[in-house]
Structure 1
Amino acid sequence: MIEAEFEHKIAPWKIEEVNNLKKLLKEGNVVALADMMEVPARQLQEIRAKIRGKMILRMSRNTLIKRAIEEVAEETNNPEFAKLAEHIAKGAAIIVTDMNPFKLYKTLEESKTPAPIKGGAVAPCDIVVEKGSTGMPPGPFLGELKSAGLPAVIEKGKIAIREDTVIVKEGEVVPHKVAVVLSALGIKPTKVGLNLLAAYEDGVIYTPDVLKIDEDEFVQKIQKAFNSAFNLSVNAAIPTTETIETILQKAFRDAKAVSIESAFLTDKTTDDILGKAYSQMLALASEVSDEALDDELKEKLSSTVGDPAEEVKEEAPEEKEEEKKEEAPAAAGLGLLF
């Protein structure tokens, strides 16, 4: 019924366009909408070259794109897909691709190119004019620079900026005369390209605020999560492929420490226990007077360099080696995540 009324009231070429858009919308795993209103023809050609083979980009009227989305949603009984039409804005275009929404967003962002900012536009960041020569000879441009708020001077026969200057702060509107000066200086504070409005995949609509991910921060969170899980597994003695070796090493060290502390002799701890007892004996002997010691003890004390108790630390290198071994499984396990 809807289609019959549409065909009755709308020009034939529009009906054909909607049918072509519908066919396109059904082809890809991911369907997205992008705004390309501010993209000049030259930059659009460059963008098309960068995305060729990765996605299909189709421009059309917003009303026709909306109609095509709604009809496909009705024909496929998919109300979630119809919600994609709510994100149509400005100069919308359809993108059909097999890459996931996150990779699509990143690809579109990487395809953007630097461009001069227009007067009346909002600064996307602090716009800084760095100090140094502009390469331009003295003339009327010197007055334009000063009028725009830049500390311009003449140095070695050329116009120069005396110091780094924030000419427009982030979020401020760029005055027309400032935009002209920035363009003349070759400063391009903005990026021109396709702005993703929304992407649909498997019943879910993704918006740019969800798709914009700090990859370094995300990797750090994964590493932190892995380390936390690794430590929990070791401390709770829950064996896994990544932690079993470390758990056994920890159990061995703990058992060895108990054996030495309680003087419980085993083939692994006898030398350590005797070494500890010997060191304690020398330490005690060093605290009593010489009259209470026999010649053998005196000779042993005189041949001991430093604090006799330091001999107990002979097991330290082994402990450090065990600690290094404990770090290895964690690093190896983390590598499996990437």
Structure 2
Amino acid sequence: MLNISPFTYGLGVLQVYDEGNAFSPDVLDISEDQLLKTFTSAITTIASVSLAINFPTLPSIIHSLVNSYKKVLSVAIETEYSWPEITELKDRIANPDAYASAAPVAAAAETKAEAKEEAKEEEEAEESGDEGFGGLFD
């Protein structure tokens, strides 16, 4: 009726100016991974400082609880005080041979895997040793 059509306005960033330096606009493209990495680093720093100065904060409270539980476990192990969850731990400490039966199986599997890797490395070393130059007995 009035010959009006929808339109939009926007800005096109050509340069970014910061403290006397000019940058291309692609410095503004920040991925979600970079933001998460920076955020995680900040939370880790806050938790570390909070634990060091013994000031409870939301990021450090979980660490404080776990550290306190470790102290309670160590007291319970050294004394006769016990509750149902710690009896297995005390039994493992008192009888390590009863729980060691699974360890040799895992160790044997690791040694077999390591032996296979070493054999592959030796094979690759022998193959790369030729280099196509011909040997004494070729």
- TM-score, normalisation: structure 2: 0.43
Higher helix share: 2
Larger of the two Rg values belongs to structure? 1
- TM-score, normalisation: structure 1: 0.21
- Comparing both chains, which one has the higher relative contact order based on Cα–Cα distances under 8 Å and sequence gaps of 6 or more? 1
